[in-house]
Structure 1
Amino acid sequence: MEIRILVVDDELSMREFLAILLKREGYAVDQADCAEKALEFLDSITYDLVISDVKMPGLDGIALLGRIKENSPDTAVLMMTAFSTAEQAVEAMKLGAYDYIAKPFKVEEVKVLVRNALEKRDLKRENQRLRQEVQERYGFSGLIGKSKKMRELYSLIERVAPSIANVLILGESGTGKELVARAIHYNSPRKDKAFVAVNCGAIPETLMESELFGHKKGSFTGAINDRAGLFEQAGGGTLFLDEIGEVPLQLQAKLLRVLQEKEFRRVGGVADQKADVRIVAASNRNLEEQVREGSFREDLFYRLNVVQLQMPPLRERTEDIPLLVEHFYRKYVQSNRNGEIITPGALKILMSYPFPGNVRELENLVERCMVLGGGTISEESLPPQVRGSQKSATAPVGDFEIPSEGMDLEGYLDGIEKRILLQALERCGGVKKKAAELLGLTFRSFRYRLAKFGMDEE
């Protein structure tokens, strides 16, 4: 992209000299003989760099610098004058000038200063873009959904993020637990520090202690150097322990000590180190059941479970499916294509499919449709197991085929149960007592089943 530079000086010879020099370097250059003329240019053109004299009739260069930074803060500015004083240099730098050139100057000096000013401007823009990308991805805009359950989740994140409390996120695989953990971090006072995520189920038991706490050289075979663990890497920030239920009992005791004492020790080390880390843990398992079974420490559970967030499965927020489909479509189709994204028939199938893999399964499905079909998502572009989900909900077990990638049986059965409940309510005009009788259930049992899916609202 062409780089545009504006040269502002009341001396014609100086303007033309700089214009020729800069054009030879490949820049597009405009000239203005006063600050007022420069402001006219700036009203209609966005410049990457302005090189301005300080001493000019009328509005001087310092005043022009202030106006530029007020209206176009991303534009880099170099000031120049034959009357160099320390006071002017300090004033110009305070107002946001990149640097200050004293006349007469050397050609190479100008070239270097221009390149450096433009590089700093590019770095600033890149940092702004990355910050915006992080905010979009991990702020609330990264969580897609406007259903009641998602609005409740947003409210909880807003309330818990500014605190230092440990958070436990529970929910099925694919519901977006890590995305919520990142949203908590990037909306907290720790957002400028590290967010470190680890899947506890993916680390061999023999290496887990070293991964979390680090190790000293020679502490075990293969420890050829000192190594910082994840608690050190996340210092001042947030450590996300995904699948916390996979941590072995022996290590749970050491993890509990870190949460209680706020310090840890490297494997093979003798000195304790402070742990300034916020813990966000997650699991797709029933940790309370693990506590009862003895495979998860009760005291650790309560330390982690200061604030609990429950991730709703996709089958319980089907009204969010159209938004999610559009979001993933835009993600994989890099264009502003207008028109139909998904046919009504295909959307109807997705709205009734139980999605055992939750949001992750829906994203993979949209990506598959884009790879194989390209344009609009149609009924024909959906996988056979999705197209056949409506039929299999009432088909005998012998006609059902388990998907090749496996499935969440409980989730699938819950989806069938929910559809039956809804169908009974629809047939009975919303009268719950009649719907219960239609299904051969007591009214109390029917209410219990509705509540299980968040459907028992007056």
Structure 2
Amino acid sequence: MSSVLVIDDDLSRRELLSSAFSFLDQPCEFCGFVDWFQSNADIDVAQINLVLLGQSQLPISLEKLVKDLQDKFATIAVVTLDEWSEVKELPDSLAQCVVGQLSVPFKYQQLLDCLHRAQLFRLRVDDTSLSQMAIFSGLVGISQPMLNVRRSMSQVAGRDVNVLITGESGTGKEVVARSLHEHSVRKDGPFVPINCGAIPADLLESELFGHEKGAFTGAVSSRPGRFELAQGGTLFLDEIGDMPLPMQVKLLRVLQERKFERIGGTKTLDADIRVIAATHKNLDEMIETGEFREDLYYRLNVFPIDMPPLRERVGDLPLLLDELSRRLPEQGLDAVRFQNSAIASLQLHPWPGNVRELSNLIERLAILYPNGVVGVSELPSKFQNVPEPNPELYEVAGDTDAIEATFSSHSIGLDQLPDDGIDLKKHLETIEQRLLEQALAVNDNVVARAAETLNIRRTTLVEKMRKYGMQRK
């Protein structure tokens, strides 16, 4: 809990403040001006949120004193005890730290108001601090919605409490969950994710709690569940809104008692984990319709974080394009660059699939234009929301029929044998792989739709992707 530092030579006023802060259950520290300058290194500056500044008989400059405080406490707020005439003479960089004045005698509401002003000042400074941008670096964006998310994360990351992340599909809820784990007291423990909507209801209990050998048909050996695998770390329950009601009851029991048993087992195991859940559904509406338990909701929703959709932070799109393009080589793809006109066009797209849709688009463009530059005309038609600024670059000059004839006469068809021969198997595999990549790209990496485009079975496409080392999305 943040502390208040009182620097004052008036012992009677210090005693009065001590009683008031004790009543408010607010930690505080006291020292005189001589003590402050001689031994302030002993004070834990990270815990100080507000400084109450009395007056001294010593010839001390307020500007020097506030500058000294600002150097030691980067986001400190100062409230003067009684009036300091020098406040009006402070430069703006120091005057902004002085958020109020408290005169004795005072009311408790005035003291609460000082604490509130200090809190708001610290949040405002934190939001504009460049050092805050480095926190949770996995999150890309400096828009106000993302600053709000970062601020919420910084408040809860070090607290061992359950978190519920809400937001549309593709907004990066798992990125937030992983980042919270990496900045938590459990960072040295495992991060274990499970998608509650991707596992059949009859298998979900076994996936969560594990089972003993012979517990049910097919249980040929004992197997630990995600709760065991996450011991000492974080369990991420993605799409918690898709969890069946019977499983919600069992999950609630574990969260309440912090204990569980494997299916078919008799040994009680401790659940030493932190739970982070996420959903794109409206759980409040699901509670009203009886699809989600209200008591489980309050167990999970200790600290909520709402992820904004991409359409509400399109100002972050250039940064997202840079970051996603930078990651392309890790996937075996060449980077792409974007013209300003293409970025402006993308900012007008509604982005129903959010950042996931943007990521798929960039991968598609990297396949079509490896190491190239993307303008408006290179974007798929549904992303072309502004006119092409340089249409003349895409016009073909001269006799089109003559050009086509010349091209045909000089190009080698797929069914023509080069003079120096060819590795037929490798040649056909190259053609096949390129067609697979194109089919996946135009279908946003949805395997089933790509298989329909190629007129082959989905399982056949999966086998061919495995053959060429192509990753499923």
- TM-score, normalising length from structure 1? 0.53
Q: 1:90-147: per-residue Cα shift (whole Å, max 9, x none)? A: xxxxxxxxxxxxxxxxxxxxxxxxxxxxxxxxxxxxxxxxxxxxxxxx9611110000
* Count of residues in correspondence between the two structures: 256
Are residues 1:378 and 2:375 paired? yes
Are residues 1:239 and 2:232 paired? no
Q: In 1, Cα distance between the equivalents of 2:272 and 2:386?
A: 49
Q: In 1, Cα distance between the equivalents of 2:345 and 2:369?
A: 17
Specify whether residues 389 and 284 from structure 1 end up closer, same or farther in structure 2 by C-alpha distance, changes over 3 A only: farther
Alignment of 1:325-364 (within 5 A): 325-333=321-329, 341-364=337-360
Q: State whether residues 353 and 389 of structure 1, in contact with CA within 8 Å, keep that contact through their aligned partners in structure 2.
A: no
Q: In 1, Cα distance between the equivalents of 2:341 and 2:330?
A: 25
Is the partner of 1:202 in helix, strand or coil? coil
Q: In 1, Cα distance between the equivalents of 2:359 and 2:166?
A: 20
Q: Which residue of 1 is the match for residue 113 of structure 2?
A: none
Are residues 1:165 and 2:177 paired? no
Equivalent AA in structure 2 for residue 270 of structure 1 = T
Q: In 1, Cα distance between the equivalents of 2:218 and 2:195?
A: 22
Are residues 1:387 and 2:384 paired? yes
1:217 maps to which of 198, 213, 228: 213
Q: In 2, Cα distance between the equivalents of 1:250 and 1:344?
A: 52
1:152 maps to which of 148, 152, 174: 148
Q: In 2, Cα distance between the equivalents of 1:332 and 1:192?
A: 29
Specify whether residues 169 and 253 from structure 1 end up closer, same or farther in structure 2 by C-alpha distance, changes over 3 A only: same
Q: State whether residues 199 and 243 of structure 1, in contact with CA within 8 Å, keep that contact through their aligned partners in structure 2.
A: yes
Specify whether residues 390 and 271 from structure 1 end up closer, same or farther in structure 2 by C-alpha distance, changes over 3 A only: farther
Q: In 2, Cα distance between the equivalents of 1:208 and 1:368?
A: 34
Q: 1:370-400: per-residue Cα shift (whole Å, max 9, x none)? A: 1101211211221111115999xxxxxxxxx
Q: In 2, Cα distance between the equivalents of 1:196 and 1:325?
A: 29
Q: Which residue of 1 is the match for residue 273 of structure 2?
A: 277
Q: In 2, Cα distance between the equivalents of 1:179 and 1:194?
A: 15
Specify whether residues 371 and 237 from structure 1 end up closer, same or farther in structure 2 by C-alpha distance, changes over 3 A only: same
Q: In 2, Cα distance between the equivalents of 1:200 and 1:284?
A: 12
2:293 maps to which of 290, 294, 297: 297
Q: In 1, Cα distance between the equivalents of 2:443 and 2:219?
A: 41
Equivalent AA in structure 2 for residue 283 of structure 1 = T
Equivalent AA in structure 2 for residue 385 of structure 1 = K
Equivalent AA in structure 2 for residue 382 of structure 1 = L
Q: In 1, Cα distance between the equivalents of 2:387 and 2:224?
A: 52
Alignment of 1:177-192 (within 5 A): 177-192=173-188
Q: State whether residues 241 and 280 of structure 1, in contact with CA within 8 Å, keep that contact through their aligned partners in structure 2.
A: yes
Q: Which residue of 1 is the match for residue 124 of structure 2?
A: none
Q: In 2, Cα distance between the equivalents of 1:334 and 1:272?
A: 43
TM-superposed CA distance for 1:271, in Å, is 2.2
Q: State whether residues 240 and 280 of structure 1, in contact with CA within 8 Å, keep that contact through their aligned partners in structure 2.
A: yes
TM-superposed CA distance for 1:330, in Å, is 1.4
Q: State whether residues 360 and 444 of structure 2, in contact with CA within 8 Å, keep that contact through their aligned partners in structure 1.
A: no
Q: Once structures 1 and 2 are overlaid, which stretch shifts more, 325-334 or 356-365?
A: 325-334
What percent identity do the matched residue pairs reach? Answer: 51
Q: Which residue of 2 is the match for residue 311 of structure 1?
A: 307
Q: In 1, Cα distance between the equivalents of 2:177 and 2:253?
A: 22
Q: State whether residues 352 and 390 of structure 1, in contact with CA within 8 Å, keep that contact through their aligned partners in structure 2.
A: no
Q: In 1, Cα distance between the equivalents of 2:385 and 2:235?
A: 42
Is the partner of 2:304 in helix, strand or coil? strand
Q: Which residue of 2 is the match for residue 119 of structure 1?
A: none
Alignment of 1:231-270 (within 5 A): 231-270=227-266
Is the partner of 1:164 in helix, strand or coil? coil
TM-superposed CA distance for 1:369, in Å, is 1.2
Is the partner of 1:169 in helix, strand or coil? strand
Is the partner of 1:192 in helix, strand or coil? coil
Specify whether residues 318 and 390 from structure 1 end up closer, same or farther in structure 2 by C-alpha distance, changes over 3 A only: farther
Q: State whether residues 353 and 390 of structure 1, in contact with CA within 8 Å, keep that contact through their aligned partners in structure 2.
A: no
Q: Which residue of 2 is the match for residue 34 of structure 1?
A: none
Is the partner of 1:140 in helix, strand or coil? coil
Is the partner of 2:292 in helix, strand or coil? coil
Q: 1:402-430: per-residue Cα shift (whole Å, max 9, x none)? A: x9769xxxxxxxxxxxxxxxxxxxxxxxx
Q: Which residue of 1 is the match for residue 190 of structure 2?
A: 194
Is the partner of 1:323 in helix, strand or coil? helix
Q: Which runs of 5+ in 1 are unaligned?
A: 1-137, 392-402, 407-458
Q: State whether residues 139 and 187 of structure 1, in contact with CA within 8 Å, keep that contact through their aligned partners in structure 2.
A: no
TM-superposed CA distance for 1:341, in Å, is 2.4
Is the partner of 2:276 in helix, strand or coil? strand
Q: Once structures 1 and 2 are overlaid, which stretch shifts more, 355-364 or 139-148?
A: 139-148
Q: In 2, Cα distance between the equivalents of 1:352 and 1:196?
A: 37
Q: In 1, Cα distance between the equivalents of 2:224 and 2:312?
A: 42
Specify whether residues 340 and 360 from structure 1 end up closer, same or farther in structure 2 by C-alpha distance, changes over 3 A only: closer
- TM-score, normalising length from structure 2? 0.52
Q: Which residue of 2 is the match for residue 204 of structure 1?
A: 200
Q: State whether residues 168 and 308 of structure 1, in contact with CA within 8 Å, keep that contact through their aligned partners in structure 2.
A: yes
